[in-house]
Amino acid sequence: MRFTKMQGLGNDFIVLDGVRERIALDPATVQRLGDRHFGIGFDQLLLVEPPADPRHDFRYRIFNASGEEVEHCGNGARCFLKFVRDVGLTDKTELAVETARGVIYPRLEANGEVTVDMGPPALLPAQVPFVAERDDIVHPLEVAGRVVGITVVSMGNPHAVQLVDDVDTDLVQTLGPLIERHPRFPHKVNAGFMQIVGRDEIRLRVYERGAGETLACGTGACAAVVAGIRRGLLDATVRVHTRGGGLIIAWAGPGTPVLMTGPAATVFEGTIVL
Ligand SMILES: N[C@@H](CCC[C@H](N)C(=O)O)C(=O)O
């Protein structure tokens, strides 16, 4: 099985071509390939497949390093577009790509970066899903004997975003895993820690569901900007600084799609010997 190792702001992937190769994956195989010592190592495995609906170009499946299949991956979506063009599956510069939670539209920019129409966020707790009695913008969440204020957002996948004074904090590693598995998130959650730098600039770290802290999380950046706008703290276009680099996120408000722009890079190619 051929694979391509890619990264978007240091969030790393292997991408498999399920259009030309017959690929069967189970959680144990994904875990083995994702192991950074005994396998290739990655945060997520991305699988390119033919679309279910012929009006679309491809189907995009995502597996966390933990082995579970998930709904969405933003940094992966930019790499997806680069991959299908580089291996000759298409020469289009804009694609309609099916994910487990709807269709996304990645587009190649003149400078080589990729903008992805990620679709509109879902804002109701039940859509995340998050167990809450009320539909508030900030929910108190009890974790490790303290109460933190979170804003929940679904970008297809679940996010809980909290504000911190300084993102260079131990909280990402201490609270992150506890929030990820908090019983109020029945499907678990990606835990975001956002420092507001200005109305158009944030710093962000994300403890990802099924992968631990990554150098960047694209859907996490979208969710953080949506959360910041809903809290009245951010403007409609925001530069997001992650540990792996910068993304531009734009959102015009409820019912409209989130746009994410950033880089995608190929690192190496290889063959898997199972
Ligand atoms: N790194 C990703 C998100 C990958 C999926 C996530 N860990 C989940 O379980 O929902 C991104 O760039 O969005």
Domains of the chain: 2-115+263-271 (3.10.310.10), 125-256 (3.10.310.10)
The whole-number average pLDDT for the span 48-55 is 98
Q: 64 CA to middle of ligand 1, Å?
A: 7
74-86 vs 218-230: helix axis angle to the nearest 10?
140
111 marked as binding residue? no
Annotated catalytic residue within 6, 33, 65, 73: 73
109's CB contacts (< 8 A; 6+ apart) are 115, 261
Amino acid, res. 65: A
Q: Which atom of ligand 1 is nearest to the CA of 68?
A: 9
Residue 251: beta bridge partners? 258
Residue nearest to atom 10 of ligand 1 (CA): 157
Q: Does the pLDDT value for residue 274 go beyond 80?
A: no
The whole-number average pLDDT for the span 259-271 is 98
More confident of the two residues 242 and 101? 242
Residue 81, classed as helix, strand or coil, is helix
The whole-number average pLDDT for the span 196-208 is 98
Pairing of β 146-154 and β 139-143: antiparallel
* Angle (nearest 5°) at CA 262 between 10 and 179: 55
Q: Is 11 in the pocket of ligand 1 (CB under 6 A)?
A: yes
| Residue 50: cis peptide before it, omega within 30 degrees of 0 | no
Are residues 204 and 242 in contact, defined by beta-carbon separation less than 8 angstroms? yes
pLDDT band at 48 (very low <50, low <70, confident <90, very high): very high
Q: Is 217 in the pocket of ligand 1 (CB under 6 A)?
A: yes
pLDDT band at 18 (very low <50, low <70, confident <90, very high): very high
Q: Does the pLDDT value for residue 228 go beyond 90?
A: yes
Annotated catalytic residue within 46, 161, 163, 217: 217
Query: For residue 26, what pLDDT is reported?
Result: 97
Q: Does the pLDDT value for residue 107 go beyond 90?
A: yes
Other beta carbons less than 10 A from residue 210's beta carbon: 20
Q: Is 209 in the pocket of ligand 1 (CB under 6 A)?
A: yes
The whole-number average pLDDT for the span 138-149 is 97
Q: Is 73 a catalytic residue?
A: yes
148's CB contacts (< 8 A; 6+ apart) are 140, 141, 162, 175, 179
pTM (whole model) above 0.95:
yes
Query: For residue 82, what pLDDT is reported?
Result: 98
Other beta carbons less than 10 A from residue 274's beta carbon: 6
Query: For residue 86, what pLDDT is reported?
Result: 98
218 marked as binding residue? yes
**Residue of 141, 204, 220, 217 lying closest to 168 (CA atoms):** 204
Determine phi and psi for 237, rounding to 5 degrees. -125, 130
Tokens of 70: 């998930």
Query: For residue 196, what pLDDT is reported?
Result: 98
Q: Is 99 in the pocket of ligand 1 (CB under 6 A)?
A: no
Say what percent of the chain tops pLDDT 90: 99
214 marked as binding residue? no
Residue nearest to atom 4 of ligand 1 (CA): 73
Query: For residue 101, what pLDDT is reported?
Result: 87
Q: Does the pLDDT value for residue 225 go beyond 90?
A: yes
Q: Does the pLDDT value for residue 168 go beyond 80?
A: yes
Q: Is 222 a catalytic residue?
A: no
The mean predicted confidence, pLDDT, of the chain is 97
- What distance in Å separates the CA atoms of residue 207 and residue 178, rounded to the nearest whole number? 10
Place of tokens 């289009």: 92
Query: For residue 109, what pLDDT is reported?
Result: 98
